[in-house]
Amino acid sequence: MTERDLYTLTIPADSQTSTGTKARRNTSKRGLLGGDTGTVESLSTAPDQRTLRGQFRGRDAEPMAAELAELFEASEFEAVAYSAAESAPTASTPADGYYTPETLDVRRLDPRAEGVVAFDGAMTRVGTRDSHRRAVETAVAQVENDFGNEQTAHVGIPSAATDVRWFDPETTATEPPDDEFVETRAGEHGSVDVYDLHASSLSLDDPTLVYDLPYVEEGKTDPTVWDDRGANSKFDEEGLLQWQRAFVTDHGFVGNPVLDNGLVRVRLDEKAGLSVVEWEDEDALWATVEVGTSEWSLSTATVTRIGPARVEAQCRFTKSGHARSPFALDVRLPRGFERPQLLVAESEEPPTPSGLQTLLKATANQQDYSSQVEQGLVGCGEVAN
């Protein structure tokens, strides 16, 4: 067996017990008068289905199985890459492609022990890099941002992407992304190229940014929501991962949610407060972004969106001595942003209280627009021109 990656999750070779592909054909059957057989007319071939069976063993068997189960449940991850892992001796296999997770059964082999968890799943093949391109859809809207008024609407894609084009799904028109390029930003696991939808040369309305991306690059620069499981550091002293990925908003957090896009991390700790660290690529480390001094502090936080292009949470802040008068901000962290957008929630009347602005100003993005990005796939034939 080959070690494989399903999006950001690695399926070790020794954990796989079997994989297989089933091709289904849609047929139409008509009975014959006076006969005991029928004629079968082939209508179309359904996408390949692939089984994924195996076991997770050891200390992290339970959280690894939980991550896999959530990925199969997550509605925002409709088509994920499934391919030979970057560390695998084989660069590619015929099974590599984009798949939609369908069903997954997860269970302990021994209900009394946590060390071995079995999984049995099915995925539907959507296509490959030869048939599809990654697509980041946009829907630019002005937002209520009291931390700045920059007239920009940024979109980030992995720097490893090639064949990059703006695409209008309605007219199928395409444009090269020349003047809209802003800069390349180096993150913990890869660089992101940032484009500005408000660049004057772009003539398409709410365009889609399409590109080709190697399977092994999938997910490296995507935003993530972590459950820190009560551990301050992502890795322990032996370099083993302590945090757990969350793929669904109803994840049962053991610790605090951490919004992370490789450039900035936002920890939402209802006891210690909101904290932010930024990636310093030159020193290859995370550095603290100091928050302001204020009577305001984080009281509650709820993750509201987890997707491959952006993650979001709603945070309620209270002023000391005024617990019954909280103020809610939406925290949005798209791919490529160096600071999260902190936007007035729809339930609130702006502006953001001045003391709360003092607390968070150094941590906030200053764009007055949101690109509202969503990631999916588009057929190569649709963007052929």
Percent of the chain with pLDDT over 70: 89
Segments of the chain assigned to CATH 3.30.70: 4-24+40-128
Contacts of 195 (CB under 8 A, 6+ apart): 154, 155, 156, 157, 177, 180, 181, 182, 209
pTM value? 0.91
When pLDDT is averaged across residues 262-281 and rounded to a whole number, the result is 97
Helix ranges, 8-74 (H):
61-73
> By the 8 A CB rule, do 119 and 130 touch?
no
Domain spanning 4-24+40-128: CATH 1.10.390: no
Lowest-confidence segment of 21-25, 70-74, 144-148, 259-263 by average pLDDT: 21-25
Identify whether the C-beta of residue 27 lies closer than 8 Å to the C-beta of residue 49: no
Q: How far apart are CA 306 and CA 320, in angstroms?
A: 31
What integer is the mean pLDDT of 272-280?
Answer: 97
Radius of gyration of the chain (CA): 23
Q: How confident is the model at residue 34 (pLDDT cuts 50, 70, 90)?
A: very low
| H-type alpha helices, the chain | 61-73, 354-360
Strand locations in 171-227, DSSP E?
A: 174-175, 181-186, 191-196, 208-212, 224-227
pLDDT category at 85 given cuts 50, 70, 90 is confident
Contact 329, 357 (CB under 8 A): no
Report CA-CA distances (Å) from 33 to 29, 30, 39, 232: 13, 10, 11, 74
Cis check: omega of the bond before 351, within 30 degrees of 0? yes
